[in-house]
Copies of this chain bind each other. A is one copy, B any other.
Amino acid sequence: MRTRGEATRERILAAAEECFARQGYEATSVAEICQQAGVSKGAFFHHFPTKQEVFLELLERWLADLGENLAALRARARNVPEGLMWMAETAQQVFEMARGKLPIFLEFLSRAARDPRVWQASISPYRRYRAFFTGMIEAGIAEGSLRRVDPEAAANAFLSMAIGLVLQATVDPDGANWGAIAQESVRLFLEGVQQGQAP
């Protein structure tokens, strides 16, 4: 954080993230963000042309972060099933840590379905994730740890499960132990596709 300006920028982003998480995008006014950041409205619009731009920058950071975490987990795993299980275990921590932060995820999606700018910002990382998982399944088949399933179909099923889990954990965080359920689900999934595991 070299210059004074950059520090202010970061404060605005952090404040916006908190407000969005607490109240949602629409319900959060620019004035509120400014107050939370201890900054004037003038400063806000000096650093960002619109409220939406703040939102988009947060979105980009979040998705990039997620992508890096997934890639790191895969790289560290000794084989594909292990990598997938690690991801499920990580989900446990994510659910616990993020809690109040998760609803932004929904807000992102809800807006992405309508706002072309948001859509474009979310959809290309998302498609990379799909490709990423397809690649993982293919690698699993190649290394002999997975059955010869259709990689795309399996990746889709896995990704759907992951998305569904996150969503449920977001809406009903106290309804179940979602971290444990994530692990159970992935285990079940692996039992279906793993080599020499079928009973």
- B residues in contact with A157, CB < 8 Å: 161, 184-185, 188-189
A9 to chain B, nearest CB (A): 27
Classify the interface of chain A: helix, strand, loop or mixed: helix
Chain A 150-173 against B: per-residue CB contact (8 Å), 1 yes, 0 no?
100110110111111101101110
Once bound together, how far apart are the Cα atoms of A147 and B107, in whole Å? 39
In the complex, chain B residues whose CB is within 8 Å of the CB of A150: 184
A171 partner, pick from B112, B164, B171, B175, beta carbons under 8 A: B112
A residues in contact (CB < 8 Å) with B? 23-24, 26-27, 102-103, 106-107, 109-110, 112-114, 119, 122-123, 126-127, 147, 149-150, 153-154, 156-157, 159-165, 167-168, 170-172, 175-176, 181, 184-185, 188-189, 191-193, 198-199
